[in-house]
Amino acid sequence: MGVFSSAASNGIGVLVADSNQMNCQLLVGALRRRPEFRVSACTLDMDAILSTITNESIDIALFNTDHDMSPIRRLHLAHPQVGKVLLLEAPDRNAVVNAFRSGVRGIFSFSDSSVRMLCKCIQSVHQGQIWANNEHLQYLLDLVSQVPSLRVVNSQGINLLTPREEQVVALVADGMSNRDIAHELGLSEHTVKKYIFRIFDKLGVSTRVELVLYAVTRGNVRHAEWVPT
Protein backbone atom coordinates (compact mmCIF):
# COMPACT_ATOMS: atom_id res chain seq x y z
CA MET A 1 0.00 0.00 0.00
CA GLY A 2 3.02 2.30 0.10
CA VAL A 3 2.87 2.86 3.89
CA PHE A 4 6.28 3.54 5.39
CA SER A 5 5.48 3.59 9.11
CA SER A 6 2.84 4.21 11.74
CA ALA A 7 2.48 4.87 15.45
CA ALA A 8 -0.37 4.57 17.90
CA SER A 9 -0.74 6.42 21.20
CA ASN A 10 -2.56 9.43 22.60
CA GLY A 11 -2.08 12.81 20.97
CA ILE A 12 -2.68 14.53 17.65
CA GLY A 13 -2.66 11.99 14.83
CA VAL A 14 -0.36 13.28 12.07
CA LEU A 15 0.08 11.73 8.63
CA VAL A 16 3.07 12.66 6.46
CA ALA A 17 2.31 11.96 2.78
CA ASP A 18 5.45 12.28 0.67
CA SER A 19 6.69 10.44 -2.41
CA ASN A 20 10.31 11.01 -1.33
CA GLN A 21 11.01 8.30 1.26
CA MET A 22 14.16 9.95 2.59
CA ASN A 23 12.46 13.30 3.20
CA CYS A 24 9.49 11.52 4.70
CA GLN A 25 11.58 9.52 7.17
CA LEU A 26 13.54 12.61 8.26
CA LEU A 27 10.35 14.57 8.89
CA VAL A 28 8.67 11.68 10.68
CA GLY A 29 11.75 11.26 12.89
CA ALA A 30 11.69 14.95 13.84
CA LEU A 31 7.97 14.97 14.62
CA ARG A 32 8.13 11.78 16.67
CA ARG A 33 10.42 13.54 19.14
CA ARG A 34 7.36 15.53 20.16
CA PRO A 35 5.19 13.60 22.63
CA GLU A 36 2.01 15.45 21.60
CA PHE A 37 1.98 13.78 18.17
CA ARG A 38 1.16 10.31 16.86
CA VAL A 39 3.00 10.18 13.55
CA SER A 40 2.34 7.94 10.54
CA ALA A 41 3.67 8.14 7.00
CA CYS A 42 2.84 6.95 3.50
CA THR A 43 3.42 7.77 -0.14
CA LEU A 44 1.21 10.16 -2.10
CA ASP A 45 -0.73 7.14 -3.39
CA MET A 46 -4.42 7.70 -2.67
CA ASP A 47 -5.09 4.12 -1.53
CA ALA A 48 -2.22 4.35 0.95
CA ILE A 49 -3.46 7.70 2.26
CA LEU A 50 -7.05 6.53 2.76
CA SER A 51 -5.89 3.28 4.39
CA THR A 52 -3.67 5.13 6.85
CA ILE A 53 -6.39 7.67 7.63
CA THR A 54 -8.80 4.83 8.46
CA ASN A 55 -6.40 2.65 10.44
CA GLU A 56 -4.44 5.28 12.37
CA SER A 57 -7.15 7.82 13.33
CA ILE A 58 -5.44 10.78 11.67
CA ASP A 59 -6.27 14.38 12.64
CA ILE A 60 -3.79 16.29 10.44
CA ALA A 61 -2.37 15.31 7.04
CA LEU A 62 0.86 16.89 5.79
CA PHE A 63 1.32 16.81 2.01
CA ASN A 64 4.66 17.37 0.33
CA THR A 65 3.66 18.19 -3.24
CA ASP A 66 4.21 21.37 -5.25
CA HIS A 67 1.70 21.03 -8.08
CA ASP A 68 -0.55 17.96 -7.94
CA MET A 69 -3.39 18.87 -5.58
CA SER A 70 -5.58 15.90 -6.54
CA PRO A 71 -4.65 13.80 -3.45
CA ILE A 72 -5.51 16.74 -1.19
CA ARG A 73 -8.78 17.39 -3.01
CA ARG A 74 -9.81 13.73 -2.91
CA LEU A 75 -8.95 13.42 0.77
CA HIS A 76 -10.93 16.58 1.53
CA LEU A 77 -14.00 15.12 -0.18
CA ALA A 78 -13.61 11.78 1.61
CA HIS A 79 -12.55 13.11 5.04
CA PRO A 80 -13.33 16.84 5.37
CA GLN A 81 -12.74 16.64 9.13
CA VAL A 82 -9.02 15.93 8.65
CA GLY A 83 -6.93 19.12 8.66
CA LYS A 84 -4.69 19.43 5.60
CA VAL A 85 -1.33 21.19 5.52
CA LEU A 86 0.72 21.70 2.35
CA LEU A 87 4.51 21.66 2.69
CA LEU A 88 6.18 23.91 0.11
CA GLU A 89 9.84 24.34 -0.67
CA ALA A 90 9.21 27.98 -1.60
CA PRO A 91 6.10 30.18 -1.94
CA ASP A 92 4.28 29.80 -5.26
CA ARG A 93 1.13 31.76 -6.08
CA ASN A 94 -0.62 29.06 -8.06
CA ALA A 95 0.27 26.30 -5.59
CA VAL A 96 -0.98 28.34 -2.62
CA VAL A 97 -4.26 29.32 -4.29
CA ASN A 98 -4.95 25.82 -5.61
CA ALA A 99 -4.10 24.31 -2.23
CA PHE A 100 -6.66 26.41 -0.36
CA ARG A 101 -9.23 25.67 -3.07
CA SER A 102 -8.53 21.97 -2.54
CA GLY A 103 -9.24 22.13 1.19
CA VAL A 104 -5.86 22.96 2.74
CA ARG A 105 -5.99 24.82 6.05
CA GLY A 106 -2.28 25.52 6.36
CA ILE A 107 0.69 26.36 4.13
CA PHE A 108 4.15 25.71 5.54
CA SER A 109 7.50 26.46 3.91
CA PHE A 110 10.75 25.07 5.31
CA SER A 111 12.66 27.76 3.41
CA ASP A 112 11.85 30.30 6.11
CA SER A 113 10.67 28.21 9.07
CA SER A 114 11.83 25.43 11.39
CA VAL A 115 10.42 22.11 12.58
CA ARG A 116 9.44 23.86 15.79
CA MET A 117 7.25 26.23 13.77
CA LEU A 118 5.81 23.27 11.86
CA CYS A 119 4.70 21.83 15.20
CA LYS A 120 2.91 25.11 15.94
CA CYS A 121 1.35 24.97 12.48
CA ILE A 122 0.01 21.46 13.13
CA GLN A 123 -1.39 22.47 16.51
CA SER A 124 -3.02 25.61 15.07
CA VAL A 125 -4.71 23.77 12.22
CA HIS A 126 -5.84 21.07 14.66
CA GLN A 127 -7.52 23.83 16.69
CA GLY A 128 -9.42 24.98 13.59
CA GLN A 129 -7.19 27.92 12.70
CA ILE A 130 -5.62 28.88 9.37
CA TRP A 131 -1.82 28.85 9.05
CA ALA A 132 -0.44 31.12 6.32
CA ASN A 133 2.16 33.87 6.19
CA ASN A 134 1.61 37.38 4.85
CA GLU A 135 2.74 36.47 1.35
CA HIS A 136 0.29 33.56 1.15
CA LEU A 137 -2.55 35.74 2.44
CA GLN A 138 -1.72 38.39 -0.16
CA TYR A 139 -2.13 35.78 -2.88
CA LEU A 140 -5.62 35.05 -1.57
CA LEU A 141 -6.52 38.73 -1.26
CA ASP A 142 -5.35 39.30 -4.84
CA LEU A 143 -7.57 36.42 -5.92
CA VAL A 144 -10.64 37.90 -4.23
CA SER A 145 -10.14 41.14 -6.15
CA GLN A 146 -9.85 39.40 -9.50
CA VAL A 147 -12.61 39.56 -12.09
CA PRO A 148 -14.84 36.52 -12.69
CA SER A 149 -14.75 35.15 -16.22
CA LEU A 150 -17.25 33.66 -18.62
CA ARG A 151 -16.17 30.35 -20.12
CA VAL A 152 -17.27 30.13 -23.73
CA VAL A 153 -17.05 26.78 -25.54
CA ASN A 154 -17.96 25.37 -28.94
CA SER A 155 -20.25 22.41 -29.59
CA GLN A 156 -17.42 20.01 -28.69
CA GLY A 157 -16.88 21.73 -25.33
CA ILE A 158 -13.50 23.21 -26.34
CA ASN A 159 -12.53 26.62 -24.93
CA LEU A 160 -12.67 29.30 -27.61
CA LEU A 161 -11.11 32.18 -25.66
CA THR A 162 -8.05 32.87 -23.54
CA PRO A 163 -8.54 33.48 -19.79
CA ARG A 164 -8.15 37.27 -20.29
CA GLU A 165 -10.65 37.26 -23.16
CA GLU A 166 -13.09 35.37 -20.94
CA GLN A 167 -12.76 38.13 -18.35
CA VAL A 168 -13.50 40.78 -20.99
CA VAL A 169 -16.60 38.84 -22.11
CA ALA A 170 -17.85 38.64 -18.51
CA LEU A 171 -17.47 42.40 -18.07
CA VAL A 172 -19.13 43.15 -21.42
CA ALA A 173 -22.01 40.88 -20.36
CA ASP A 174 -22.27 42.95 -17.15
CA GLY A 175 -22.89 46.03 -19.33
CA MET A 176 -19.56 47.73 -18.71
CA SER A 177 -18.10 50.17 -21.24
CA ASN A 178 -14.61 49.82 -22.72
CA ARG A 179 -13.40 52.54 -20.33
CA ASP A 180 -14.84 50.71 -17.32
CA ILE A 181 -13.37 47.40 -18.46
CA ALA A 182 -9.99 49.04 -18.94
CA HIS A 183 -10.11 50.43 -15.41
CA GLU A 184 -11.26 47.10 -13.94
CA LEU A 185 -8.49 45.10 -15.60
CA GLY A 186 -5.76 47.72 -15.44
CA LEU A 187 -5.50 47.95 -19.22
CA SER A 188 -5.70 50.77 -21.75
CA GLU A 189 -8.91 51.34 -23.69
CA HIS A 190 -7.01 50.59 -26.88
CA THR A 191 -6.00 47.18 -25.53
CA VAL A 192 -9.59 46.45 -24.50
CA LYS A 193 -10.79 47.32 -28.02
CA LYS A 194 -8.22 44.92 -29.48
CA TYR A 195 -9.47 42.17 -27.14
CA ILE A 196 -13.07 42.78 -28.13
CA PHE A 197 -12.35 42.72 -31.89
CA ARG A 198 -10.35 39.52 -31.41
CA ILE A 199 -13.27 38.01 -29.48
CA PHE A 200 -15.70 39.09 -32.22
CA ASP A 201 -13.52 37.33 -34.79
CA LYS A 202 -13.22 34.12 -32.77
CA LEU A 203 -16.94 33.87 -32.01
CA GLY A 204 -18.20 35.09 -35.37
CA VAL A 205 -20.16 38.06 -33.98
CA SER A 206 -19.96 41.73 -34.91
CA THR A 207 -21.67 43.70 -32.10
CA ARG A 208 -21.65 43.81 -28.31
CA VAL A 209 -25.31 42.76 -28.28
CA GLU A 210 -24.51 39.66 -30.32
CA LEU A 211 -21.57 38.94 -27.99
CA VAL A 212 -23.78 39.14 -24.91
CA LEU A 213 -26.40 36.87 -26.48
CA TYR A 214 -23.69 34.39 -27.47
CA ALA A 215 -22.22 34.45 -23.97
CA VAL A 216 -25.61 33.99 -22.32
CA THR A 217 -26.50 30.99 -24.47
CA ARG A 218 -23.09 29.27 -24.60
CA GLY A 219 -21.18 30.53 -21.61
CA ASN A 220 -20.72 29.42 -18.00
CA VAL A 221 -19.68 31.80 -15.23
CA ARG A 222 -16.41 30.80 -13.57
CA HIS A 223 -14.97 31.88 -10.23
CA ALA A 224 -12.39 34.66 -10.27
CA GLU A 225 -8.93 33.38 -11.07
CA TRP A 226 -5.51 34.99 -11.18
CA VAL A 227 -4.75 35.85 -14.81
CA PRO A 228 -1.19 37.01 -15.66
CA THR A 229 -1.07 40.41 -17.34
- Please list the residues that pair with 15 across neighbouring strands: 40, 61
* Stated pTM of the model: 0.62
Are residues 121 and 136 both part of a single domain?
A: yes
pLDDT digits (tens, 9 = 90+) for 16-61: 999 888 888 999 999 999 999 999 999 999 999 999 998 989 999 9
pLDDT digits (tens, 9 = 90+) for 194-215: 999 999 999 888 988 888 877 7
Are residues 66 and 27 both part of a single domain?
A: yes
Are residues 129 and 187 both part of a single domain?
A: no
Q: Which of 82, 40, 88 is nearest to 60 (CA)?
A: 82
pLDDT digits (tens, 9 = 90+) for 149-196: 677 766 677 778 888 898 898 888 888 899 989 988 889 999 999 999
What is the Cα gyration radius of the chain?
Answer: 22
43-58: b or e for each residue (b if 16 or more CB lie within 10 Å)? Answer: bbebebbbebbeebeb
Are residues 114 and 27 both part of a single domain?
A: yes
| Residue 218 counted as domain residue | yes
Q: Average pLDDT over the chain, rounded to whole?
A: 83
How confident is residue 7, by pLDDT bands cut at 50, 70 and 90?
very low
Angstrom distance (rounded) from CA 65 to CA 91: 12
How confident is residue 66, by pLDDT bands cut at 50, 70 and 90?
low
Are residues 98 and 11 both part of a single domain?
A: yes
pLDDT digits (tens, 9 = 90+) for 84-141: 999 988 767 888 888 888 899 999 987 767 889 999 999 999 999 999 888 888 887 6
Are residues 121 and 212 both part of a single domain?
A: no
Are residues 96 and 204 both part of a single domain?
A: no
Q: Looking at residue 170, what is its pLDDT?
A: 85
